[in-house]
Amino acid sequence: SKMNDVSLAYEEMKGSNALQYPLKSIYVIVLILMTLMILFCSAWFGLYMAKHLSSALETLGKATQKVAEGNYQRVEIDSGETEVKRLATNFNSMVEALDRSRKETMEANDSLKVTLKELDQRRRYMHVVLSNVNTGVISLDAQDRITMINDKAAKILSINPLEYINKSVDEVLDEKYFRLYRQMVLKMRTHRLNTVEKQILLDRGQSSVPSMLKVSTLAGENGEDLGRVVAFDDLSDVFQAQRAAAWKEVARRIAHEVKNPLTPIKLSAQRLQKKFSNDITDPAFTACTNMIIEQTDSLKYLINEFSQFARMPETRPRLSNLNDMAEKVLFLYEQAHRQIRFSGQFDNQIKAFYFDLEQIKRAVFNLVENAVNASSGNQSPEIRIETLLDPERGVVTLTIIDNGREVSEEEMERMFEPYYSKHPGGSGLGLTIVKKIIEDHNGYVRLAANQPQGLQVQIELPYTTE
């Protein structure tokens, strides 16, 4: 029976071993399936999270690219992740800060552009002003280096201003002028003066020009020394006006003291001729009395010139035709001086305008007479009168041109001075009277050399038709 039990147990064990392998396989398969399921779920969840995060990061990446291109718009990310939301919030804060900074920079840049434009306009305006003033101006910094030279100063010193910018002032001024400048600066510092001025004779070519040298301090808002300004004022016109005023007084007194005795002297000589011409046969008597009469006439002419210069009549403008007047003057001189070739070129645009016909006619007569005298030594003398209207400036120009002797610049500078004349027997008042007449008309008279020789006298008058 025990053997039977053992046998039965062995058979049962063999049966159970036959089922053991299928169960084991099932367990293994279930384990593998569960493992694969877990791996799949994990992979899917990972891909889902990665896709979700990458979408947010891609949105931020595109927004960053837009910011780089100048588009400062906020970015909106729909995500439940706290970190992503915080990242989006920080990104938007950064974009807003960048946008504010950009706007502030643009506003500052625009303001800077406006400021620079205003400074440039002021610089141009100052350059135009300084270029047109009749004063030489040199600007210096605190170390006496040149920062600016205007055109007038460059002309006076005969230099190219661009070559001397940032150079020391002693390289521009001659030794005597630089020494004078240092003395004036020392005086300013010693006596605490802002400006010092001194009259000097400024060398210009062969002549000296009376000028006013003025040195002024440039001080900052806090009183710091920023440099100095050196100015040269041409006093030629002032001195000329003073001389003209003095000569007017001299002319008035001469005319008063000398004119009265001339008439009785002439009458006495004529009476001597009439009474004793038949009794005295000596030719010397007639020659002497004729000489007395001629010289008294010459003196009367000079006295009349003095008198006219001393008492110029008041200007009385009325509507007159300048071209007609110039043609009449030309015709009269053509008849009187047939050896001279006269010509005229008149602008037909010039209509009647306001000026004193008699005074302007007198000025033109004086100028043409001077041109006749200057051209007398030329083998082919020629005198031309031209008129031209400049509508933009509202100015009429009358020019008298001759081909007489060459006139130097020094002579041209002195030709308007009273009693200066190169013509033998001339009173030297013709051009002085001309200048006075033109100035009374608020006009200008200018001298220029004619090519190849001779002189041009230009008269500018305001073109006022109403």
Summarised one tens digit per residue, pLDDT across range 281-299 is 777 778 888 878 877 776 7
Residue 330 CA from chain centroid, whole number = 40
Indicate whether 48 pLDDT > 80. Answer: no
pLDDT bin (cut points 50, 70, 90) of residue 395 is very high
Which span out of 308-322, 413-427, 430-444 was modeled with the highest average pLDDT? Answer: 430-444
Indicate whether 310 pLDDT > 60. Answer: no
Q: What pLDDT is stored for residue 429 in this prediction?
A: 66
pLDDT bin (cut points 50, 70, 90) of residue 319 is very high
Threshold 0.75, pTM exceeds: no
Q: What pLDDT is stored for residue 349 in this prediction?
A: 93
| CA angle, residues 123, 128, 130, in degrees to nearest 5 | 90
Q: CB-based burial of residue 90 (10 Å sphere; 0-12 exposed, 13-18 middle, 19+ buried)?
A: exposed
Residue 387 identity: T
Tracing tokens 């990972």 back to the chain, one arrives at 46
Contact 384, 349 (CB under 8 A): no
Contacts of 64 (CB under 8 A, 6+ apart): 91
CA–CA dist 239, 241 (Å, integer): 5
Other Cβ atoms within 10 Å of 327 Cβ, number:
15
Indicate whether 152 pLDDT > 70. Answer: yes
Summarised one tens digit per residue, pLDDT across range 264-281 is 878 888 888 787 777 777
Strand, coil or helix: 387: strand
pLDDT bin (cut points 50, 70, 90) of residue 36 is confident
Which span out of 197-211, 299-313, 408-422 was modeled with the highest average pLDDT? Answer: 197-211
Summarised one tens digit per residue, pLDDT across range 173-214 is 888 888 888 888 888 888 888 888 888 887 766 667 778 888
Tracing tokens 């205007």 back to the chain, one arrives at 150
Work out the percent of the chain whose per-residue pLDDT is above 70. 78
Among 385, 392, 401, 390, CA closest to 324: 385
Q: What is the dihedral of CA 172, 177, 182, 184, to 10 degrees?
A: -130
Q: What pLDDT is stored for residue 10 in this prediction?
A: 64
Summarised one tens digit per residue, pLDDT across range 342-378 is 999 999 999 999 999 888 988 898 899 888 888 887 8
What integer is the mean pLDDT of 368-392? 89
Q: Where are the beta strands (DSSP E) in 279-407?
A: 318-320, 341-345, 353-355, 382-390, 395-402
Residues in the chain: 466
Q: What pLDDT is stored for residue 383 in this prediction?
A: 93
What integer is the mean pLDDT of 212-217? 87
CA–CA dist 226, 221 (Å, integer): 10
Contacts of 374 (CB under 8 A, 6+ apart): 402, 404, 405, 423, 454, 455
